[in-house]
A and B are shown apart, each in its own frame.
Chain A
Amino acid sequence: MEALVATAIGALTAAGVYLILRLRSFAVVLGMTMLTYAINIFLFTSGRLVINQPPILRDHSGNITGYTDPLPQALVLTAIVISFGMTAVVVMMALGAFIEGGDDYINMPEEDRNMPPLLTVEAEEESEIAGQTKGGSA
């Protein structure tokens, strides 16, 4: 059984990574969803695989054998909800970029990619002086 879960995690990860390497935002969102599954399952399995022993107390005798580890479950539960929030924000950003920019490419436009040339201190001073004269004339 462990091998099944591990291969499932591997397959989901591979699919997720492949999709986040695509060029369009929707594929990246899908890829992140797949990665979320993989990671949540991975976190969950850190409590090891246990069948038919949910962490819900059957009696109050203080006997604690026969239960699975509840802690990873609690962590994953909030992780699932938070990852929904994250997906929603990313989707919204993708949508906004599409509406605002007209395409859903994940990359920056070619002309914006390189950072502006380094400002030397002298250039900084000059730009400052220019700024001051500009400010003065305005």
Chain B
Amino acid sequence: MSPALIAMLPFIGALLPGLLIRSGRDVAAISCGTATLIALIGLLLHIPEILNGGVVTTSFSWLPQIGLAASFRVDGLGLLFGILILGIGLLIITYARFYLSRKDPVGKFYTYLMLFQGAMMGIVLSDNILLLLVFWELTSLSSFLLIGYWRHLPDGRQGARMALTVTGMGGLAMIAGMLILGQIAGSYEIGDILQAKEAIQASPWYFPALILILLGAFTKSAQFPFHFWLPHAMAAPTPVSAYLHSATMVKAGLFLMARLWPVLSGTPEWFWIVSTTGLITMLLGAFIALFKDDLKALLAFSTVSHLGLVTMLLGFGTPEAAVAAVFHIINHATFKAALFMTAGIVDHETHTRSIARLGGLRKLMPITFAIGTIAALSMAGVAPLNGFISKEMMLYEVDHLERARQVFMVIATLAATFSVAYSLRFIFHVFLGPVRDDYPHKPHDPGLGMWIGPAFLVSLVILIGLFPNTMAGWLVDASATAVTGEAQHAELALWHGVNNALIMSGIALVGGAILLSVYPAAQAIWRAGPHPEAKTMFQWLIGQTVLGARNLTNGITDGTMPRALAAFTLTSVFCGALAWSTGAVGPVTRPMLPLELVPVIGWIMLIVATGCMVAFHRYRLLALVLVGIVGLIVSVGFAYFSAPDLALTQISVEIVTVILLLLALNFLPKRTAVETTSRRRGTDAFIATLAGVGFGALAYAMMRRDVAFDSIAGYMLETSYKKGGGDNVVNVILVDFRGYDTFGEITVLGIAALVIYALTETLLQGKSSRRLRNWVRDYRRAGDRHPLMLVVATRMLLPISLVVGIYIFLRGHNEPGGGFIAGLVVAIAFLMQYMASGFGWAMDRQRVPYHAMIGAGVVAAAITGVGAWFNGRPFLTSDYGYFKLPFLEEFELATAMGFDLGVFLCVVGAVMLALNSLSRIARHAGGTVNADPMDNIDTKDMTGKEAH
């Protein structure tokens, strides 16, 4: 089976519970289990090839420009983790079916679980680090959902947030690290990166990349000082804890370190950072675990400790230590998942996880007792179980260290002692001792469905312990080979003779037993000591960060717009000035165009109009006139500087904008009072001047220099006729070269119009509707609302304007014009009817609703684009031909015309809908509708207060 399919199967499985949940828990569990099983079988089929040293890969190109490919690989390491994820996943799916109650939303649970499983499979099978990062983030997100699954519990929500914050931040750091790594190696393919050891370790960027990547790995694998999130994630349902927080997700960090081991390890930096972190984590986790009362908390801290153990081994950087690390990953997954499931059974049956309230369960739950005891003994490292072998190997490696051997030996032995103590405590304080009669719920062994999973794992614990080479040797060899990049053959055995490791192990066993026998005294000492509570610190830190961010935000924008805008303007000016003063600016290369009289006159008009605008903006109607002047000169300027299309567009938009603002002024006050101090105005003027000078200078500097890189204008001019069939290059760019862009833009325009429509609908209801009904106009209306002359003139002009619109539309491909301009012209022609003859008259004659027009426009453009598919071309590829009809000149038909028609319809619809909405408000506020537009209005209408 293709590695890509193996990684995708869980995602497909994730869809099933949602669809099937009405059929009940069993169907959901079976469907997920089936998907997992198929993926597992697919993976196992690759075993022969991988054992022969092969690597199975598939690759799809995704974004080759940035080096992102959907490439997957299965090698020994991927195989090992894949078996863990899918195999334990299968057991968890079964277990969860019986663990969750009828009231829990089971469909959601299985969907999240499968999402998580898919994300994990993605991580371990990715052959591209960018792809790996995508899956990495996905595990953080899906584990957030799983931890917070019981969302009515505050602990669950807080634990989920904390896990997401810590692992998410680590993930962000890791993205940066991976990008650096990819840059050094020159490729984002893992296969290539693994070959680039020398280049990577010689690079000055090696250390930053290492730190960033390790941040990601340490946060995910709960290494000190990021270990605190894991115990809080235990608020999750136990199947989740067993799956994510013992067997899979927390091992993602280990996986990553193992994956990049060949290129990152072997340096002093790697050794000291990784192995010291692992050592501290191992000791700290084991120590805290001993004193935890909550069964799951004990297991959580023990997991932290064992993750530290593996991290330390990977940190040693020797192939033998890597073998031990890989073997311990397998062993830990088997016994710890079994222990979590045991804890879940105990919780399920007794309704408590507090060790203080348990004890004596041996007689009541014999099966659970047997499973839990074997698994816990393996965790303690007791022969002949699998935990013993890998712990011996760990101690052996510690004993053979070249650096800091004594320190590591002492601390490792101490950690092992604590480990024995908490493992024994799990057995003695939960199962042994006298039977109590105060359990919250009378316990007994659960059904087969719940204990079959852990029982299977425990059988593995024993079998691997007795026959390590047969059971796990091949897998250890294959994955250690993948980790180290050279063929490994591990001699796994129970008995290595009497060596230092065995002595250390013995000390730990005896020490642990003694420690447990004096447990009450030890606990008293522990209770007396300080307990730095990570959760409190974490929440304090988050609170302070939020507070700081809030103060900063309040300082810049406290709900007053001018302050925020001033801050924004000043920042922009500052950044521009900084860039200007620090960057290199090329020499002036373009001569100035000579001055001419007419442009100078235009410039003077523009400057005067702009100045007047600032001076008289309080007189709002006058300001509108001034806007009109500025717009007009801008259009003329476009025409002068060889941009006829822009000139046409600008002038028609100008008209529409002024009408729009006039309609708004119908309600808004016509004058603005002076409300600011002259000092405030002075400051604002200063800021405005800074911005103006900066922007003007930038424009001047740019215009005096040639483009730094060759413009793509040449290509467009060259191919406009050949490929787009049009002489008007601007129009060909709009409807053809950048048609996708235009398609998006007309959609935005349509959405803007619909937003306006929706806002109008809201305003015409409720409070604002009542206000509108009682609106008192602050001005007198003109005596003649629909002057005869205007009505007659506009009606005569309508067909002429429409013909002009069609003409501009048709010629657009070769001459200035096109859909945008034609749309605006036609919209203006319609608007004149509204203005001259009145809203009611015009609405009566309007056949097509404007929403439909917008929709039709977008659809027309889309259909034209899709049409290209039938020719086997990509979306929006245009085609054209020239036709000759009798009595007519030869003319051109291009598919781009259909697209331009879409643009046209969309523009007409959007402009009309926007202005129409404003008119509706005016009408709502007591305007009459005259059936006959040439009527004189009633005298009482002038007050604007008549009834409808």
A binding-site residues for B, Cβ under 8 Å = 1-30, 33-34, 37-38, 40-42, 44-57, 60, 62, 64, 67-71, 73-74, 76-78, 80-89, 91-96, 98-100, 102, 104, 106-108, 112-115, 118, 120-121, 124-125, 128
B650 touching A80 by the CB < 8 A rule?
A: yes
Chain B window 707-749, contacts with chain A (Cβ cutoff 8 Å), 1 for yes, 0 for no: 1000111101110111000011110011000100110010011
Closest to A55 in B: B729
Instruction: From the candidates B611, B668, B752, name the one contacting A98 in the complex (CB within 8 A).
Output: B668
A6 touching B734 by the CB < 8 A rule?
A: no
Instruction: From the candidates B660, B693, B756, name the one contacting A10 in the complex (CB within 8 A).
Output: B693
Residues B623-650 near A (CB distance < 8 A): 623, 627, 630-631, 634, 637-638, 640-646, 649-650
* B614 at the binding interface (Cβ < 8 Å): yes
Taking CB atoms, residues of chain B closer than 8 Å to A37 are 630-631, 634
CB distance from B381 to the nearest CB of A (A): 39
Residues B565-613 near A (CB distance < 8 A): 565-566, 569, 590, 592-596, 599-600, 603, 606-607, 610-611, 613
B607 touching A11 by the CB < 8 A rule?
A: yes
A56 touching B727 by the CB < 8 A rule?
A: yes
Q: Known contacts A37-B631, A92-B760: does B696 contact A7 (CB below 8 Å)? A: yes
B661 touching A29 by the CB < 8 A rule?
A: yes
Residues B218-244 near A (CB distance < 8 A): none
* B496 at the binding interface (Cβ < 8 Å): no
* B762 at the binding interface (Cβ < 8 Å): yes
Taking CB atoms, residues of chain A closer than 8 Å to B502 are none
CB distance from A94 to the nearest CB of B (A): 7
Chain B window 804-825, contacts with chain A (Cβ cutoff 8 Å), 1 for yes, 0 for no: 0000000000111000100010
**Contacts A42-B698, A112-B559 given; 17 further ones with Cβ under 8 A?**
A10-B693, A17-B692, A26-B665, A33-B657, A46-B702, A48-B590, A57-B721, A57-B728, A57-B729, A64-B717, A74-B738, A77-B649, A82-B748, A84-B653, A85-B914, A91-B661, A107-B562
18 contacts between A and B (CB under 8 A): A2-B590, A2-B704, A10-B696, A11-B607, A20-B565, A26-B664, A30-B617, A37-B630, A45-B699, A48-B706, A55-B713, A76-B643, A92-B760, A94-B664, A95-B667, A106-B562, A108-B560, A118-B547
A85 touching B730 by the CB < 8 A rule?
A: no
Name the 5 nearest CB pairs between A and B, nearest first.
A10-B696, A14-B692, A113-B559, A6-B700, A85-B752
Q: Among B170-178, B669-677, B793-801, which stretch is in contact with chain A?
A: B669-677
Taking CB atoms, residues of chain B closer than 8 Å to A115 are 550, 554
B914 touching A99 by the CB < 8 A rule?
A: no
B562 touching A34 by the CB < 8 A rule?
A: no
Q: Among B104-112, B293-301, B453-461, B767-775, which stretch is in contact with chain A?
A: B767-775
A56 touching B762 by the CB < 8 A rule?
A: no
Closest to B158 in A: A121
CA gap between A107 and B562 in the complex, in Å: 8
Q: Known contacts A57-B717, A73-B643: does B756 contact A89 (CB below 8 Å)? A: yes
Instruction: From the candidates B565, B566, B603, B623, name the one contacting A4 in the complex (CB within 8 A).
Output: B603
Instruction: From the candidates B595, B668, B700, name the one contacting A26 in the complex (CB within 8 A).
Output: B668
Closest to B816 in A: A56
Taking CB atoms, residues of chain A closer than 8 Å to B702 are 45-46
CA gap between A81 and B906 in the complex, in Å: 11
Taking CB atoms, residues of chain A closer than 8 Å to B12 are none
A99 touching B607 by the CB < 8 A rule?
A: no
With a 10 A CB-CB cut-off, give which of A22, A52, A60 has the most chain B CB atoms.
A22
CA gap between A30 and B623 in the complex, in Å: 8
Taking CB atoms, residues of chain A closer than 8 Å to B676 are 22-23
* B523 at the binding interface (Cβ < 8 Å): no
Instruction: From the candidates A10, A46, A56, A77, name the one contacting B692 in the complex (CB within 8 A).
Output: A10
Closest to B720 in A: A57
CA gap between A20 and B691 in the complex, in Å: 12
Q: Among B188-196, B329-337, B420-428, B681-689, which stretch is in contact with chain A?
A: B681-689
Closest to B715 in A: A64
CA gap between A99 and B661 in the complex, in Å: 16
A7 touching B607 by the CB < 8 A rule?
A: yes
A15 touching B729 by the CB < 8 A rule?
A: no
A2 touching B700 by the CB < 8 A rule?
A: yes
CA gap between A124 and B656 in the complex, in Å: 51
Q: Known contacts A13-B695, A99-B667: does B593 contact A51 (CB below 8 Å)? A: yes
Q: Known contacts A4-B595, A51-B640, A74-B738: does B917 contact A27 (CB below 8 Å)? A: no
B642 touching A53 by the CB < 8 A rule?
A: yes
B753 touching A60 by the CB < 8 A rule?
A: no
* B154 at the binding interface (Cβ < 8 Å): yes
Instruction: From the candidates A17, A54, A92, A118, name the one contacting B918 in the complex (CB within 8 A).
Output: A92
CA gap between A68 and B742 in the complex, in Å: 21
Residues B458-489 near A (CB distance < 8 A): none
* B503 at the binding interface (Cβ < 8 Å): no
B699 touching A95 by the CB < 8 A rule?
A: no
CB distance from A83 to the nearest CB of B (A): 8
CB distance from B679 to the nearest CB of A (A): 13
B594 touching A54 by the CB < 8 A rule?
A: no
CA gap between A22 and B699 in the complex, in Å: 26
B733 touching A71 by the CB < 8 A rule?
A: yes
Instruction: From the candidates B595, B606, B820, name the one contacting A77 in the complex (CB within 8 A).
Output: B820
A42 touching B699 by the CB < 8 A rule?
A: yes
Instruction: From the candidates A56, A68, A107, name the one contacting B728 in the complex (CB within 8 A).
Output: A56
Instruction: From the candidates B593, B711, B718, B756, name the one contacting A49 in the complex (CB within 8 A).
Output: B593
CA gap between A94 and B668 in the complex, in Å: 9
B599 touching A76 by the CB < 8 A rule?
A: no
CB distance from B661 to the nearest CB of A (A): 7
CB distance from B756 to the nearest CB of A (A): 5
CB distance from B843 to the nearest CB of A (A): 19
A38 touching B695 by the CB < 8 A rule?
A: yes
B768 touching A27 by the CB < 8 A rule?
A: no
B767 touching A17 by the CB < 8 A rule?
A: no
B675 touching A23 by the CB < 8 A rule?
A: yes
Taking CB atoms, residues of chain A closer than 8 Å to B522 are none
Closest to B658 in A: A33
CA gap between A34 and B560 in the complex, in Å: 21
Closest to B907 in A: A81
Taking CB atoms, residues of chain B closer than 8 Å to A57 are 717, 720-721, 727-729
B660 touching A88 by the CB < 8 A rule?
A: yes
Closest to B561 in A: A106
CA gap between A67 and B684 in the complex, in Å: 42
B620 touching A26 by the CB < 8 A rule?
A: yes
B668 touching A95 by the CB < 8 A rule?
A: yes
A91 touching B749 by the CB < 8 A rule?
A: no
Taking CB atoms, residues of chain A closer than 8 Å to B771 are 99-100, 102
Closest to A93 in B: B759
CB distance from B108 to the nearest CB of A (A): 21
CB distance from A124 to the nearest CB of B (A): 7
Closest to B536 in A: A121
* B931 at the binding interface (Cβ < 8 Å): no
Closest to A78 in B: B745
* B763 at the binding interface (Cβ < 8 Å): yes
Taking CB atoms, residues of chain A closer than 8 Å to B718 are 62, 64
Taking CB atoms, residues of chain B closer than 8 Å to A118 are 543, 546-547, 550
